Amino acid sequence: MANAKLEVDGKTYELPIVEGTEHERAIDIGALRNKSGLITLDPGYGNTGSCRSSITFIDGDQGILRYRGYPIEEIAASAHFTEVCYLLIYGERPDAKQLARWKADLTRHTLLHEDMKKFFEGYPPAAHPMAIMAAMMASLSSFYPAGDDDESLDLNIIRLIAKSKTLAAFAYKKSIGQPFVYPQNSLSWPANFLRMMFAVPAEPYEVDPVFEDALNLLLILHLDHEQNCSTSTARMVASSGANLFASLSAGVCALWGPRHGGANQEVVEMLETIRSSGSTCRAFVEKVKRKEAGVRLMGFGHRVYKSFDPRAKLLKAAADRIFGKLGIEDPLLALAKELEETALHDDYFVERKLYPNVDFYSGIIYRAMGIPTNMFTVMFVLGRLPGWIAHFRELRTDPDNRISRPRQVYTGATVRAWEPSAT
Ligand code: ACO
């Protein structure tokens, strides 16, 4: 095994170099503190590997994304969401029998316990559906025991993937004051969700196959993205021994932020602001460059991708295809393309290697499907949840699994005496 040498205060420390299957190399500093008293400092973990993982590979310089070795472009061209969930969680594609069983299980477990419906009643109408999702996800643990054995975990995995869409649709129905629509077993996972979102008792509802396909693609593209903020959060919570539902609820909370999954909502709001203000893309880009009040070009930039995010490329093409099939034009799509072109030809973005990310075009497609802006991040949850599950399952059997507990460099007051208060 190769070693790296670190020299501090005239002493040399040998540190092993670990190599992954795609030849990524890392210096293992696990023993550094014991040997030297030193720790490493890396705010935001930009250069820190937290684990070994065999789920997803990203090459941010080349714009490559693979799930379990399969290129995202090939998966996206023909796969069904539920099959890819199985691949990510269990490591291999299911055979025909496994797939039939998996789909049947995911269909049979879609109902929520009737008592859970009462929880929805307590929320104010304006409650953000992400708050409801996080609370409901953790609440599931009070209905379903989280046993440590494989069988209990497998059952809870099925429950979560099946029920997450029911939770999301119920949160939406609650926010608009409509009655809940129960799942229908004859439908695919995406179609079932769309029906629970948009059907009303007074009228017949047919799922539009264009929307069903679009949602299938969106869900697949959001499934996993290695050690991102929400996945790392879910893994960190799981490392304490917390159950699957609690760990995933933490993932939902981490995803909510505008620097992460909340960016898809912010992109559409940004485009709407540019449009309604009568301003131009150029003027907005100049504002971003001046860093006016922290203004950022939402849906642009990524910690890992320093080239095109392959998911953004697929979604841009999908947006054109979907709008073409529906025969509609959305001024926001044209505006997004203009904004992208303006940024991609501007030195500020070129020098910093800022490209559109997955959130840049996803919101425009959700909008076309009739999904309201405040549900966009919930849509991200639905896609990412099976990825979090794959990581939870991987962590469980990881021989390196210790409680996640970073260290710090203390910068506060040095020791001082505590004098008793005068009163
Ligand atoms: N608009 C304008 N400037 C940007 C942007 C942006 N979207 N993203 C990065 N920059 C600039 C920073 O200001 C910084 O410039 P500086 O060197 O002059 O200070 C430089 O590019 C590096 O940016 P960092 O913030 O250090 O990059 P980091 O890796 O920490 O952040 C992040 C990545 C959070 C995604 C960032 O690019 C961002 O805020 N983007 C907008 C929000 C967004 O789209 N988030 C979704 C990401 S994908 C996902 O989570 C699903």
Q: Please state the separation of Cα 48 from the chain's center in Å.
A: 20
Give me the domains of the chain, ranges plus CATH numbers: 3-64 (2.20.28), 81-399 (1.10.580.10)
- Please check whether residue 216 is in contact with residue 365, taking contact to mean a CB–CB distance below 8 angstroms: no
Kindly state the tokens that stand for 189.
């996972």
Place of tokens 């993982």: 53
* pLDDT value of residue 293: 85
| DSSP characters over 195-258 | HHHH--TTS-----HHHHHHHHHHHHHHS--SS-HHHHHHHHHHHTT--HHHHHHHHHHHHTST
Gap between the Cα atoms of 176 and 170, Å rounded: 10
pLDDT, one tens digit for every residue, the chain (423 residues)? 799 999 999 999 999 999 999 999 999 999 999 999 999 999 999 999 999 999 999 999 999 999 999 999 999 999 999 999 999 999 999 999 999 999 999 999 999 999 999 999 999 988 999 999 999 999 999 999 877 799 999 999 999 999 999 999 999 999 899 999 999 999 999 999 999 999 998 899 999 999 999 999 999 999 999 999 999 999 999 999 999 999 999 999 999 998 999 888 899 999 999 999 999 999 999 999 999 988 899 999 999 999 989 999 999 999 999 999 989 889 999 999 999 999 999 999 999 999 999 999 999 999 999 999 999 999 999 999 999 999 999 999 999 999 999 999 999 999 999 999 987
Known catalytic residue at 346: no
Known catalytic residue at 359: yes
* pLDDT value of residue 126: 87
- Please check whether residue 377 is in contact with residue 332, taking contact to mean a CB–CB distance below 8 angstroms: no
Pocket of ligand 1 (CB under 6 A): 44, 259-261, 263, 288, 296-303, 352, 354, 357-359
In sequence order, which residues have a C-beta less than 8 Å from that of residue 282 and are 6 or more positions away? 342
Gap between the Cα atoms of 247 and 137, Å rounded: 9
Q: Which of 222, 225, 260, 302 is catalytic?
A: 302
Pocket test for ligand 1, best of 357, 362, 379 (most atoms within 8 A of CB): 357
